[in-house]
């Protein structure tokens, strides 16, 4: 009973860590990439090495990758304690919704009714697909 | 949106779920890891399935960065979620697994969400940005 409770608690702690770090990482990476511009076009104009240098010099990218690393190890930790059928859908669906809020707040994206509907539909769909 | 951009979104869709599945398979072989033994978590990448999963996730990451350079985060995430549907369809038609009614409903919802977001513009239009000395658009937030 107690090991099961610990397993559940660790699983949900991992989900919380994944949602927070993944959303922060997504927002930072998105901001960093928008600063650089369309990678395909920049590569055509200046070459691959230039693109790589711009990405590796971008502080939002670097902090974003750090957040993604935390998210990745939280996922591994969660998977070692609980089923992928819980960790995967729960973390993914909550991250979709958290990202919509974060993108509106921090990136000032135009999240219209269509995008809210998309985030909620996908979040609900991901949960149902675990059954 | 052109075919190159759709191809990038397809890369995001396919690499992530397949990579996650390989990680899951590998971590089941590694076993439970305690919070008191974090270095064991770092050693988990020595497992070949975890390693292969990481390679695919690197492919996902490159596609994802490219997509985020020309599309909004709230466009890329739902639009690239078709990978979940793809995995379920592979399970049904290639692996001949049974798909429950709930899962079909989930597939319909995810597909509907993708349909919603891809019917709109991929990026929020903003006033032109000034360029800093190193050629990178300056912050405007």
Q: What mean pLDDT do residues B113-138 have?
A: 67
Backbone angles phi, psi at B131, to 5 degrees: -100, 140
Reference B14, options B51, B62, B47, B48; nearest CA is B62
pLDDT reading at A48 higher than 80:
yes
Instruction: Place B135 in a pLDDT band, splitting at 50, 70 and 90.
Output: very low
Please write the tens of the pLDDT for every residue from B57-102.
899 989 999 999 999 998 898 888 888 787 777 777 776 778 888 8
> Per mean pLDDT, which of A31-35, A73-77, A107-111, B85-89 is the most reliable?
A31-35
pLDDT at B141: 41
Q: Could you give the CA distance from residue A90 to residue B138 in angstroms, rounded to a whole number?
A: 37
Please write the tens of the pLDDT for every residue from B105-124.
988 898 888 888 878 888 88
pLDDT at B139: 44
The answer to whether B110 contacts A34, with C-beta atoms less than 8 Å apart, is no
Reference B1, options B128, B87, B127, B117; nearest CA is B117
Instruction: Place A2 in a pLDDT band, splitting at 50, 70 and 90.
Output: low
Tell whether B78 lies on the interface with A, counting CB pairs under 8 A.
Answer: yes
The answer to whether B84 contacts A120, with C-beta atoms less than 8 Å apart, is no
Q: Chain A: nearest CA to B71, how far in angstroms?
A: 8
Tell whether A10 lies on the interface with B, counting CB pairs under 8 A.
Answer: yes
pLDDT at B129: 56
Which of A115, A126, A127 should we substitute to test contact with B (largest number of B Cβ atoms within 10 Å)?
A115
> Per mean pLDDT, which of A53-67, B26-40, B47-61 is the most reliable?
A53-67
Percent of chain B beyond pLDDT 70? 86
pLDDT at B140: 42
What is the residue extent of each domain of chain B? 3-118
- Residue B86 CA, distance from chain mean position: 12
Q: Please provide the average confidence, as pLDDT, over all residues in chain A.
A: 88
The answer to whether B106 contacts A129, with C-beta atoms less than 8 Å apart, is yes
Q: At what angle do helices B3-30 and A59-81 cross, to 10 degrees?
A: 40
Please write the tens of the pLDDT for every residue from A13-28.
899 999 999 999 999 9
The answer to whether B77 contacts A10, with C-beta atoms less than 8 Å apart, is no
Tell whether B62 lies on the interface with A, counting CB pairs under 8 A.
Answer: no
Alpha-helical regions (H) of chain A: 2-36, 39-46, 48-57, 59-81, 84-106, 113-128
pLDDT at A3: 64
Tell whether B29 lies on the interface with A, counting CB pairs under 8 A.
Answer: no
The answer to whether A100 contacts B74, with C-beta atoms less than 8 Å apart, is yes
DSSP secondary structure of chain B: --HHHHHHHHHHHHHHHHHHHHHHHHHHHH----GGGHHHHHHGGGSHHHHHHHHHHHHHHHHHHHHHHHS-HHHHHHHTTHHHHHHHHHHHHTS-----HHHHHHHHHHHHHHHHHHTS-SS---PPPPB-TTSSBPP--
Tell whether A70 lies on the interface with B, counting CB pairs under 8 A.
Answer: no
Which of A114, A117, A126 should we substitute to test contact with B (largest number of B Cβ atoms within 10 Å)?
A114
Q: Please provide the average confidence, as pLDDT, over all residues in chain B.
A: 80
ipTM: 0.83
Percent of chain A beyond pLDDT 70? 94
pLDDT at B35: 67
């Amino acid at each position: 009973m107690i090991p099961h409770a610990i397993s559940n608690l660790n699983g949900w702690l991992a989900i919380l860590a994944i949602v927070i770090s993944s959303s922060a990482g997504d927002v930072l990476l998105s901001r960093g990439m928008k600063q650089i511009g369309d990678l395909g076009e920049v590569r055509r104009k200046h070459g691959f090495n230039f693109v790589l240098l711009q990405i590796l010099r971008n502080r939002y990218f670097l902090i974003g990758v750090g957040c993604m690393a935390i998210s990745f190890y939280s996922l591994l930790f969660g998977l070692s304690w609980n089923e992928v059928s819980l960790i995967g859908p729960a973390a993914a669906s909550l991250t979709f919704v958290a990202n919509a809020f974060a993108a509106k707040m921090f990136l000032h994206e135009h999240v219209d009714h269509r995008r809210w509907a998309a985030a909620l539909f996908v979040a609900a769909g991901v949960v149902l697909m675990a059954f | 949106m052109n075919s190159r951009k759709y191809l990038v979104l397809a890369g995001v869709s396919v690499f992530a779920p397949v990579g996650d599945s390989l990680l899951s398979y590998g971590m089941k072989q590694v076993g439970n890891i305690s919070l008191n033994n974090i270095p064991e978590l770092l050693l988990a990448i020595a497992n070949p399935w975890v390693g292969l999963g990481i390679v695919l996730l690197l492919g996902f990451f490159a596609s994802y960065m490219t997509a985020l350079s020309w599309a909004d985060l709230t466009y890329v995430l739902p639009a690239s979620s078709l990978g979940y549907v793809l995995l379920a369809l592979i399970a049904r038609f290639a692996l001949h697994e049974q798909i429950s009614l709930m899962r079909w409903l989930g597939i319909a919802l995810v597909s509907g969400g993708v349909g919603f977001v891809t019917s709109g513009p991929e990026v929020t239009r903003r006033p032109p940005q000034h360029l800093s000395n190193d050629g990178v658009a300056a912050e405007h937030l």
